[in-house]
Amino acid sequence: MKKCLLLVNSYKADSVEMAQKIKPYLESRSIEVEVFTYDGKHAQNKNIEPPFEGMDFVVTLGGDGTVLFASRGCAPLGIPVFAVNLGEFGFLASISKDSWQHELEQFLAGNKKLSSRYMVSCRVIRDGKTVFQGRGMNDVTVASSGASRLVNLNVYHDGAFLGPFKANGLIVATATGSTAYSAAAGGPILCPSVKALLLTPISSFSLSARPIVFADGMLEIRVMAERYPVDISIDGQVGFDLEQDDIIELEIPECCARLVGATENTFYAALQSKLNWSGGPRA
């Protein structure tokens, strides 16, 4: 390990101060450190491109959103993400701010397990041409731009018509993203190592619409006649405006996000501590 990018989300308290501790520590280990600071609160809809190319690993100082931001750029380059948690949930940023030095020592010594997380890629086809493409670690959402407005979407899986969906929108989540927006919309929680795409309707007009888990293959969402604007959102951080007759193709890409310390043990511990998933006295 010779070169590190320190990704600092300045919106999180203590992130800049912690970066000032981690940077000299790494430099004392003869590791070249580049610091990239951004405001996570105002990052959406801005073309922020950290210099991931050429890095051996990335240290993120923020929350799970900072990990999502880093992983989209690091995954295709195979760069591991060492995520220090300064946020709330810590499903992805599993390293506490009090134990960063010990955990970093273990990582640099090769004693930390890397967790591979499947992602979801999407591209928007308009009039036969690709007008947008991206990759997410949590989910891709197709929904009305306004609150509580129905959209009409036709959904296909590997060419097979699943049916029309009239809802506020649809979430296509990874196993990692099953604990995020999809869970809030009533979707199931998947083990993070599962290679799958989870389709979850948002406030469906039909009570028969239920979440569906797909082992693999291509999901296709077609935007039907709309009265209101519809857009696509990746990880809640990257957006694109859709038009009638747009086709959104979604699948699992070959590249995976590589996280340091985010094991299944830490995942289940987060479920218990963050979501109070502990059962009752007789459970």
Residues marked active site are found at: 64
φ/ψ of 37, rounded to 5, equals -110, 135
Tokens 């993070």: give the residue. 192
Residue labelled with tokens 């039907």: 224
* Residue type, position 239, single letter: G
- Closest CA relative to residue 221, chosen from 174, 145, 156, 271: 156
63: part of which helix (H) or strand (E)?
none
Q: How far apart are CA 251 and CA 85, in angstroms?
A: 29
Angle at 115 between CA 113 and CA 119, to 5 degrees: 165
Closest CA to 43 of 4, 15, 70: 70
Q: Which two tokens stand for residue 3?
A: 């070169």
Rounded to a whole number of angstroms, the distance between the first and last alpha carbons of the chain is 46
